[in-house]
Amino acid sequence: MNNEINNNYSTFAEKYDQLFDSELYQEWVDFVTKNSKATSIMDLGGGAGRLAVLLAQLGYTVDVLDLAPEMLSLAQKHANDANVDLSLLQADMRDFSDWKKEYPIIVSFADALNYLPNLSDFKLAIQQVYDHLAVGGQFLFDVITPYQVNVLYDNYYYNNDDDDENIFMWTSYPGEQENSVDHDLKFFVYDEAIDAFKIMREIHHEQTYDLKTYQETLRSAGFHNIEVFANFGQNNIDESTERWFFRAVK
């Protein structure tokens, strides 16, 4: 039974990984390289390692921290396929104090911080980042905005049935907490052995906050020179910005 559950999670992780637009990862890479030269870097909540592989190919030494072993397994696979080295760390971003290494740069993208369930957890993660940065080190990250959560995700629905044997359905609902959203993700995968579809389902909860909360949390942790951008650092933010991009210095 446990093996079956693990296999299902691994399959879901792989299919979830395939949903992301590869062009977005290149834009995250461009945001990182615009703000740093090739150096040692931690990808916090780095998941399947797509960003980490691209950075490693540019000469960065990348450590990937993630809580999910299934995602780290995918990161290792992507690293092997690309013939690059990644260091993988299975840990909780809210407390990886046993990891004593300091970095000149830590990054966290693709909603990783929005998956923390509440503000207390977010503050813990931000403090961990600060503690693991060298003096003068940079923290680059992005989060979805309240506009994204409350307007664009309001009863959002997406259905991908281009592949008759792998159908994906995504429905979003307002979460119980302010500025939160729940994503109901379903994969319908055809199983030839039983001549029927198997359903794999996960509920993903995302939480965001107003801009002032993010800025105050960063300042309270000790960060300074806090800058906020839209569009991968290319534009100024406004009331309809979907994703905030932060740069903060220790």
Mean pLDDT of 113-129: 97
pLDDT at 21: 64
Domains of the chain are 2-144+208-249 (3.40.50.150), 148-206 (2.20.25.110)
DSSP letters of 57-84?
HTT-EEEEEES-HHHHHHHHHHHHHHT-
Check whether 2 has a pLDDT greater than 90. Answer: no
Buried b (16+ CB within 10 A) or exposed e, 74-110: bbeebbeebebebebbeeebbebeeeeeebbbbbbbb
Task: Tell me the residue ranges of DSSP E strands in 17-153.
Answer: 40-44, 61-66, 87-90, 103-108, 133-144
- Asked if 39 and 60 touch (Cβ cutoff 8 Å), the reply is yes
Q: Which residue has better confidence, 107 or 14?
A: 107
Task: Tell me the residue ranges of DSSP E strands in 119-165.
Answer: 133-144, 157-163
- Asked if 189 and 201 touch (Cβ cutoff 8 Å), the reply is no
For tokens 């989060």, the residue is: 143
- Asked if 200 and 169 touch (Cβ cutoff 8 Å), the reply is no
- Asked if 29 and 140 touch (Cβ cutoff 8 Å), the reply is no
pLDDT digits (tens, 9 = 90+) for 35-68: 999 999 999 999 999 999 999 999 999 999 999 9
pLDDT at 20: 64
For tokens 């942790």, the residue is: 221
Burial of 195 per CB tally in 10 Å (0-12, 13-18, 19+): exposed
The strand pairing partners of 247, in sequence order, are 140, 227
Global pTM value = 0.90
Cα 120 to Cα 218: distance, rounded to the nearest angstrom: 13
For tokens 């929005």, the residue is: 114
Cα 45 to Cα 206: distance, rounded to the nearest angstrom: 14
- The model's confidence at residue 6, banded by pLDDT at 50, 70 and 90, is very low
Q: Are strands 61-66 and 133-144 parallel, antiparallel or unpaired?
A: unpaired
Check whether 248 has a pLDDT greater than 70. Answer: yes
pLDDT digits (tens, 9 = 90+) for 155-164: 899 887 676 7
pLDDT at 195: 76
